[in-house]
Copies of this chain bind each other. A is one copy, B any other.
Amino acid sequence: MPNPTAAMLVIGDEILSGRTRDANMYHLAGQLTRQGIDLKEVRVVSDDPEAIVSATRALSTAYTHVFTSGGIGPTHDDITADCIAAAFGVSIGVRADARAILQAHYDANGQELNDARLRMARIPDGACLIDNPVSKAPGFTLQNVHVMAGVPSIFQAMLASILPSLTGGKPLLSVTYRVDRGEGDIAAPLGALAAAFPQLSIGCYPFQKDGLFGANIVMRGTDDSQLQKAMTALKGEFPQ
């Protein structure tokens, strides 16, 4: 059975303007690979309702899971929850369970649960809350879309709390072999190897260091014995 598939939707003007370098994509990609869920596509869109709604619809239709990052705080530019509700045509409002989490948190800190903070208890109808051990304001899962914060520490904590509940496939294994020759010398034998092992994904990632050309050959697959056979063939082709 093929692995479940996934897409990521990053929401945020700060990424597109070059102010912030996204960190969540790299983290999510590594976690999903370990779990046996194939990340197939990432989209980054701006804080624009139309863009968020249409990307949510396209990705949730095409893939098993969608993970979103960003736009669920208390400020005017935090519009993700409303857009996800709109994408699925469900209503949204302050929900008692989410409100109770926030009330307890702010009471304990002697802060007021004001209107802005209460925005973070707005949850689309039918969604399940995602625990936020860092700053309490929850994320949520609506159908196959998991809505999480953009702050990396919170994104990572939320992801850790939902990943165990998702059914993965066989974890993707990978082996890497460095060849100190130009890609152009590697290409023909590597193409033959890829043809001989169609179950594996074989990539060639060139580098230049101190004026020398080389490449890391990365072979990925779920069958360890195939990977070992391919590695033996590769080493035979390019002995060190």
Q: How far is the CA of A73 from the CA of B74 in the complex (A)?
A: 46
What is the count of identical protomers in the complex? 2
Would B33 and A41 count as touching, CB distance under 8 A?
Answer: no
A10 CB, nearest partner CB in chain B, Å: 8
Nearest to A26 among chain B residues (CB) is B21
Interface stretch among A91-99, A123-131, A184-192, A230-238?
A184-192
Q: How far is the CA of A134 from the CA of B220 in the complex (A)?
A: 29
Would B16 and A42 count as touching, CB distance under 8 A?
Answer: yes
Q: Mark A121-143, 1 if CB is under 8 A from B, else 0.
A: 00000000000001100000000
Q: How far is the CA of A216 from the CA of B42 in the complex (A)?
A: 26
For window 30-70 of A, CB contacts with B under 8 Å fall at 30-33, 38-47, 51
Instruction: Let me know if A162 is at the binding interface, CB within 8 A.
Output: no
Q: Mark A176-217, 1 if CB is under 8 A from B, else 0.
A: 000000111111101100110000011111111000010000
Would A29 and B18 count as touching, CB distance under 8 A?
Answer: yes
Q: How far is the CA of A15 from the CA of B117 in the complex (A)?
A: 35
A15 CB, nearest partner CB in chain B, Å: 7
Using known A-B contacts A17-B220, A204-B75, determine if residue A116 contacts B188 with beta carbons closer than 8 Å.
yes
Q: Mark A93-121, 1 if CB is under 8 A from B, else 0.
A: 00000000000001000010011110110
Nearest to A172 among chain B residues (CB) is B17
- 16 A-B residue contacts at CB 8 Å? A10-B42, A17-B39, A18-B33, A22-B25, A41-B43, A41-B44, A43-B43, A73-B187, A74-B183, A75-B187, A76-B190, A115-B188, A116-B185, A119-B187, A120-B184, A151-B207
